[in-house]
Amino acid sequence: MLLVAKPILGEEEKAALAAVIEDGWITMGERVRAFERAFADMHDARDAVAVSSCTAGLHLVLAALGLGPGDEVLVPSMTFVATAASVLHVGATPVFVDIERLDLPLMSLSDAAAKCTGRTRAAILVHYAGYLPDRERWRAFAQARGVTLIEDAAHAAGLPGVGTIGDAAVFSFYGNKNMTTAEGGMIVARDDAMRGDAMLERVRMLRAHGMTSGARQRLTGHASGYDVTMLGYNYRMDEFRAAIGLVQLARLPEWNARRQALTERYRRVLESDCPDLALPFPQPRPSANHILPVLLPATVDRQGIMDDLRAEGIQTSVHYAPVHRFTFYRQRFPEVTLPLTEEFARRALSLPLHPDMDDDDVDRVARALARALAKQRETMPP
């Protein structure tokens, strides 16, 4: 089966894990700190904080900013559910915003402006599929309204420019991401952000129960005890994940370049073999090319296409079902309608994209998709 996503793990990761076992220190320690510094360096940030997941990172940033009941946070619905859930975790209210266009499935600036109120404290920009939104327009939007921007950069690790739009950016290392630690995440903050280093320091304490020192610091004599100065969480990263992360991070630029090349080939062959498809993001913009979404014709049975491709050994997926249409959110926000998001979600299909693929794999997917579309056209009434 040609998978939609595939982690690349090998001997280097095995050796890194074995080294942690041999050292005997497996909780948050020197490797976590080394991973944080290396990740910050790659993203031109002064520092970074490693956490147990991107979801935990979003929660911590919102908590560090002091958001809570009575506050509103603008979020897209074309995202994984964690984006909205993190807002609810701090007691604030997610306000769902439509996408710009069917070919630009990023949060709409005009709809965000229309939904701003006196209670709007923040907006979470999701870099869907690894594509960056317009930095200058969103910074102007935030400055004019006193809104804090947070980047949900789960799809965008290693992309130049990521982390420079919002006051903080949060990354994911889940198993299907451009680099993985199985589970895990990272937080960076803009150097000129109002809270800057202070935000990261607060996040660092919040991830570990609000304690003023960690076990490693006490073992090495850098601290003799600890105080608890805030209500915190257990969102720490362990040494095993950090060890894998250091290996993966070193290869991330190479893998992202391969994703870019595969995406460019997909665009060429799909335009030729499947001309009735629409490809989002037709205009060049920075991307880590995390997923490869296409937009099927409005009359096509998507499940039928997915079944035909699976029969040929090709996995496909859907990114994403709209968050506001899930039962939990529909019951709490029954009045929300997002026409463009709903139409995009109805027609979107994610094709295989990962660095272990070659050009022949791309051609194989395109040919199979063309056959599946042709089969449906033949059965459609005139």
Domain with residue 155: its CATH number is 3.40.640.10
Do 43 and 143 belong together in one domain? yes
Please report the DSSP string for 121-165 in residue order.
EEEEEE-GGGB---HHHHHHHHHHHTPEEEEE-TT-TT-TTTTSS
pLDDT of residue 7: 97
Question: Which has the closest alpha carbon to 20: 11, 10, 30?
Answer: 30
Catalytic residue check, 6: no
Catalytic residue among 6, 14, 115, 177: 177
- Identity at 313, one-letter amino acid code: G
Strand partners of residue 171: 186
- Quick check: 43 pLDDT over 70? yes
User: By residue range, what is the domain housing residue 178?
Assistant: 11-245
Strand partners of residue 169: 151, 188
* Cβ pair 244, 334 in contact under 8 A: no
Do 241 and 277 belong together in one domain? no
> Under 8 Å CB-to-CB from 53, ≥6 apart: which residues?
172, 174, 183, 184, 185, 235
In a domain, 1, yes or no: no
Do 223 and 109 belong together in one domain? yes
Given 212, 228, 245, the domain boundary residue is 245
Do 216 and 268 belong together in one domain? no
Mean pLDDT, all residues of the chain:
95
Q: How many CB atoms lie within 10 A of CB 311?
A: 10
Do 126 and 143 belong together in one domain? yes
> Under 8 Å CB-to-CB from 89, ≥6 apart: which residues?
59, 62
Do 236 and 305 belong together in one domain? no
How many domains are contained in the chain?
2
Query: What is the four-CA torsion angle of 365, 366, 372, 375, rounded to 10 degrees?
Result: -150
pLDDT (average), residues 3-21:
98
pLDDT of residue 382: 64
Percent of the chain with pLDDT over 70: 95
pLDDT digits (tens, 9 = 90+) for 107-117: 999 999 999 99
pLDDT of residue 194: 43
Do 59 and 200 belong together in one domain? yes
Residue listed under structure tokens 């006490």? 218
In a domain, 4, yes or no: no
In a domain, 332, yes or no: yes
Percent of the chain with pLDDT over 90: 91
pLDDT (average), residues 358-375:
98
- Here the CATH number for the domain that contains residue 320 is 3.90.1150.10
Poorest-pLDDT segment among 190-199, 210-219, 234-243, 354-363: 190-199
pLDDT digits (tens, 9 = 90+) for 106-158: 999 999 999 999 999 999 999 999 999 999 999 999 999 999 999 999 999 99
pLDDT digits (tens, 9 = 90+) for 262-298: 999 999 999 999 999 999 999 999 999 999 999 999 9
Report phi then psi at 303, rounded to 5: -60, -35
Do 238 and 285 belong together in one domain? no
Could you tell me where the DSSP H helices lie in 146-233? Answer: 196-206, 215-219
